[in-house]
Amino acid sequence: MNHDLRTRRIIGAAKRVFLEHGFDGASMDEVALEAGVSKRTVYNRYISKEELFDEVAKDACEQLLTFSFDTPSDIPVRDFLKSLALKILWSRLSPDSLALLRNVAFRAHRMESLRTGYAETAIQPVLSFLTTYFESGEGKGVAINADPEDVAWTFFSMAIHPLESKLLMGEQLTTDLETAIVKQADAAVSKFSALYNLT
C-alpha cells in the first residue's frame, strides 16, 4: 500500500509511541505531536487508535522480528542450530523487539491484527524453515523419530527461553546482552541435542 508523506510520518510516529507506552498508554494526541501534524490530520486518516494500531502492528512485526534464513543447511547440525538460535534471539531481544513482544503478550487476544501479524512474521517462517530441515534430516545426519513440526516447536522454545521470558519481565542481566545470547544459544543446542540424541 502506498502512503503519502504525512501518513508515513504518522505510522512511524505511532510505532514509536506504541512501542514506548504500549497500546493502552498511547494517545492520538501524542502520535500527532510525534509526527509533527495536527490531531485532525491523524483522524482524517484513521478513525480510531485501534485502526491506527492495526496499520502499525504488522509493520512493526515485519521490521523487528524477521531475519534472513541464510545459514547453509549442509553444515553440521549443531552449528546449524546454533546459528539459527543466535538469529532468532537477536531478532527478538533488542529493546524495540521486547517492547513489541510485551504488546503482543498483553494485546494479541483482543487484536486480530497483532495476533496474525506476529504469527505470520515471527513464528511461522521459523517453524516452516525448521520443519523442512528436520523433514529432510536423514541426509544431514539428523535422525529424529518425531513429528518434524513438533520438533521445530521444541527447538524454537528452547532457543528463546528462559532468556526472553526474563527480559520481558524486566529482569536485569548480570552480563552484556551478547554474552547472554551466546550462552542461551549454546544451552538450547546442548539441551536439544541431548533430548534427541544428536551427535
End-to-end CA distance of the chain: 48
Domain identity same for 78 and 133: yes
Average pLDDT over residues 50-59: 83
The residue segments making up the domain with residue 111 are: 65-195
Q: Based on the domain organization, do 162 and 123 belong to the same domain?
A: yes
List pLDDT tens digits, range 133-160.
Answer: 888 765 465 667 788 899 999 999 999 9
pTM: 0.84
Q: Are 69 and 138 in a shared domain?
A: yes
Nearest Cα to Cα of residue 92 among 112, 71, 63: 63
CATH number at residue 118: 1.10.357.10
DSSP secondary structure letters along 60-100: HHHHHS-----S-TTS-HHHHHHHHHHHHHHHH-SHHHHHH
147 and 84, same domain (yes or no): yes
150 and 99 within one domain: yes
Instruction: Examine the domain organization and report whether 137 and 41 are in the same domain.
Output: no
